[in-house]
Structure formats: structure tokens, C-alpha cells
Amino acid sequence: MPPRSDPHPYLAATAGSEASRPPRVLAHRGLVAADAASAGVAENTRAAFAAAEAAGALYLESDCRVTADGEVVLFHDAELRRVTGDPRRVAELSLRELSAIMAGRGGLLTLGEALDEFPQARFNIDVKSAKATDPAGRIVAPHAHRVLLTSFSDDYRLRALRSAEAAGGLPATSPGQRGIARLLAAVVSRSRSLEARALAGLDALQIPERQGPLRVLNARLLDAAHREGVEVHVWTVNDPQRMVTLADRGVDGVVTDRADLALATLS
């Protein structure tokens, strides 16, 4: 597949001169400042996304799961324990029950509500469960120009993309663990044809700098991605000096818990 001549609208919306545009800032699960956290505001909530948008973030990163009554909601963990202290799982609770629990923690959002309430935002959605794939795809289809779908599971990611396409829209996408492993093997082989195949159909490559002892981000991977018209976004970067270093290396985006700090550092 030849290099992309035009980026997906998700990335093209604010694209300027590549020589002058700073890395994109993706607000990881919104923005929860210290004072908001002390007041009980949680990640992935209406309040967290409103704070990120107020700070100037265009790209909002989140996760989706399905409630017991089939509603796609923005929530990272399979269970509520870390966020609320409740040991139950998202999949055990109805939308009404989960909304009541999250009411004092910033407000639960369904995926559809998030897209409607933040119409100017670009959403980076990580599909966390098999049951979320098909409904999430259908929900984002009308908003495909401003959505990127990803997942640690490439099976979930591809199912969600197929669902979106069948419903009339094709979001941008970034690979899961299997896709990243395939690309890393291609980079090690130093085969441009294998690198191109591993990057085919992708819009962004969202990766950590390292995974344990393994260095994921390297100059050849950056070069391969850019040659095929694929952006490289690194997660999760909260230190300003690392942000600057990554920008100097040519990274196209940083996923961060501190969107306010990143925007001030990288603008």
C-alpha cells in the first residue's frame, strides 16, 4: 500500500505545517487536577473531559465498556474498586446504577453522550471488552471524522471498525498489541516491505516508549511510520522534559494525564 496522500480527518482537522506544528496533546482520561481529585472527581467523567477541554485540549482519550443493560459507557477498569471502592464490575451494573454511583465523582458519560456533549472534541476511544465492539462501532459511525478507535486487542479493534464501517463511517485507528509486535518484528528485520505491510490501514501508532526492558520507540520505527503516513503518539507522558525530548525526536503526539501542562510546554 503506498504512503497516505491525505491524513484521516481525525488528524487532518488541525494539521498544519509539519515543520511547525507541535505534537498533538491527547488528554488521557480527561484532566483531573489535584483540587478536583481532592473533591472526588474521577477520570473518564464529564467533569474530567470538561476540564481538559477548558485547558485547551482538542483530543480526549477514553475507554469504553458495556453495562448490564447494554449501554456503552466511558470507563477504564473492568470493576469499580480503584475508582469508587466498589468491588462490583461495570458489566454487573445497569446504566442507572452506575450513573448514581458516579454522580458525585464527576458524572458518568455514555459514549453517545460524550460525542454529543463535546462536539468540537476529537475522541480517542480504547475498546475494553468484546461486548463493546459492535455497539461502539455503531455509535461512533456518524462521528467517524473525529474518532480514533483502538484497543489492546486487535480483534476488538477490527470488530469495532467493521461495525462502524457497516453503519456508514470509518474512524481512524491505531493497532493493538499484536499489531505493534508485528511492526516491531518488521523494524528489526529492516525490511521496508514488511514495515509497510505492518503499517497498512493504520492512521496512528500509539505506543509506550518502553515495555518493561523492551524499547518500543526508536528512530527506525519513527522513520517507517512517517514514511507510510502514520503518526506516532507516545503514552503516558507526564514529565515536561520528556515531552520536549519526544517532540525533538519527531513524535507526533503525547498522551498525558496533564494536558494542561503538556499544552503549556509544547505550544
Q: Distances in Å between the alpha carbon of 151 and those of 64, 159, 180, 189, 240?
A: 10, 10, 11, 25, 27
User: Which structural domains are found in the chain, ordered by start?
Assistant: 23-173 (3.20.20.190)
Portion of the chain with pLDDT greater than 90, in percent: 92
| Paired strand residues for 253 | 24, 233
pLDDT tens, 207-263? 999 999 989 999 999 999 999 999 999 999 999 999 999 999 999 999 999 999 999
Is residue 195 within 8 Å of 184, Cβ to Cβ?
A: no
**Residues with catalytic function:** 28, 76
d(CA 85, CA 193): 49
Distances (CA, A) of 119 to 51, 71, 112, 113, 146: 15, 20, 11, 10, 9
- Sequential pLDDT tens for the chain (267 residues): 344 568 999 998 554 444 457 899 999 999 999 999 999 999 999 999 999 999 999 999 999 999 999 999 999 999 999 999 999 999 999 999 999 999 999 999 999 999 999 999 999 999 999 999 999 999 999 999 999 999 999 999 999 999 999 999 999 999 999 999 999 999 999 999 999 999 999 999 999 999 999 899 999 999 999 999 999 999 999 999 999 999 999 999 999 999 999 999 998
Identify the CA nearest to 23 among candidates 228, 255, 203: 255
Q: How far does CA 107 lie from the centroid of its chain?
A: 20
Dihedral-angle region of residue 30 (phi above 0 means left; psi in -120 to 50 means alpha; beta otherwise): left
Between the alpha carbon of residue 239 and those of residues 28, 62, 67, the distances in Å are 14, 20, 35
